[in-house]
Structure 1
Amino acid sequence: MSLLRQASVAARAVSRSAAFSTSSVARKDIVQDLYIRELKGYKAPPAAKDAHVGVVKAYALPPAPKAPALPTDLASELAAYDAAEPTKADAPKVAATGTENVGQGAEAFLEFLEADLPKAEVHH
């Protein structure tokens, strides 16, 4: 029995000692320490007072817009516009592509779609 008592007393003594400490020893990272020390010691060079010259453009307000002038004889200009007729010379010209019925209405387009296409000869 005395052997069991001595074992339990020894176990208690060991458990109370720092041999089984739950806190881990923090390892130091030398590279990280050097990096942080250099960051803390960095001094930015002072900017010159005229550093912005040539980089920033001077702001100038645009000129104020002028109100449009109304024509003096509005009735005659409207009459001239109404009298003018559009000419076919102003319309863009479309090159012929072999589709004669295109642009002649929906019926002509439907007839074009229903027409049989010429069959190409098969060469072997």
Structure 2
Amino acid sequence: MSTILRRAAGATRTVSCSRAFSSSAAARKDLVQELYLKEIKAYKAPPAAKDAHVGMVKSYSLPPVPKAPALPTDLASELSAYDSSEPVQATEKAAAASSADHHHAEITDGGAEAFLEACEATVHEELH
């Protein structure tokens, strides 16, 4: 029976110690939380300098006002000079297109057989 009493006494001590430990942990938690909240409430941010924005923000300036394009003084003579001029590349393209149209007319006049023969034939380009 003495062993049972010893075990019971040991169990009560363990329970009382764990209660004391848990209550002290709760007290510590509240103490730490209270200190933390006290420090947060007491904190005051340092005042910002008045020129703190310098370098961070660009100053805005309006873009320059566009100017209206100036009209040529003698518009009629410039238009007539443009109409009379003939680009060099356009004449070369027109000559190539007329020869291609002539060749195309020959192919379509002969029917399907002539078209197939023209497709199979080797192309000889003339050097200029």
Query: Normalising by structure 2, what TM-score?
Result: 0.38
Query: Normalising by structure 1, what TM-score?
Result: 0.38
Larger radius of gyration: 2
